[in-house]
Amino acid sequence: MDLTGKVAVVTGSSRGLGRAIAVKLATLGAKVVVNFCSNREASEATLRLIEQSGGEAVAFQADVSVFDEAQGLVKKALEHFGRLDILVNNAGTTRDTLLVRMSEADWDIVMNTNLKSVFACCKAAQRAMMKRRYGRIVNITSIAGVAGNAGQTNYAASKAGMIGFTKSLAKEVGSRNITVNAVAPGYIPTDLSGQLPPELIAKGIDMTPLGHAGTPDDIANAVAFLVSDEAGFITGQILSVDGGLAMQ
């Protein structure tokens, strides 16, 4: 796979899955926009990893749960690099609790960060991609959006919404040579997933047919394929990268 000359925006890429995705795309030749909300130090660490691999990247701060900031992130990418070929919507958060205890803020924060950000970033990127008649969009959803998960009604709803969004947008922009796909990770140890209770983590691994957790690189490799020219005839698909967990 060769992404030389392509420009990619990866939201929420200062750490975790986003960092792995940003570094992977850069090693394949893409120029990468690293996005962070508040942790500038972590974003600089991502930039260093990219530079060490011989890649080129720039970091822009934006809270993509805010419509204008999400749109502004894409605008900055276009101004800096002059084009946009790849958009990976990875930014996400959780506010896990049973519905009976869930506050309105718990709901709104998760929906805005996980789902509204996808709407805002795709809307901003769509015009540039349609003009050039080329684009690759990958949305990072979750096994929770496919199968649901107790204590995560807000998170699962936001991730299921991403799946419907992915399929619908794929139908809208396919004629312009823009593909829209999603990756649904299973249990991947990151700062975000590390907030889960240990017993739930153990249960998730036990239910995974391959018998172990995945890694951020597993997700990054899947994204790299979906944004490559080798995947040019794949759109509207949800790729589970979960060690077989979705089959349970």
- Residues forming the active site: 155
DSSP line for the chain: ---TT-EEEETT-SSHHHHHHHHHHHHTT-EEEEEESS-HHHHHHHHHHHHHTT-EEEEEE--TTSHHHHHHHHHHHHHHHS---EEEE---------GGG--HHHHHHHHIIIIIHHHHHHHHHHHHHHHHT-EEEEEE--HHHHH--TT-HHHHHHHHHHHHHHHHHHHHHGGGTEEEEEEEE----STTGGGS-HHHHHHHHHHSTTSS---HHHHHHHHHHHHSGGGTT--S-EEEESTTGGG-
**Cβ proximity of 183 and 223 under 8 Å:** yes
Q: Give which of 159, 152, 42, 172 is closest to 89, Cα–Cα.
A: 159
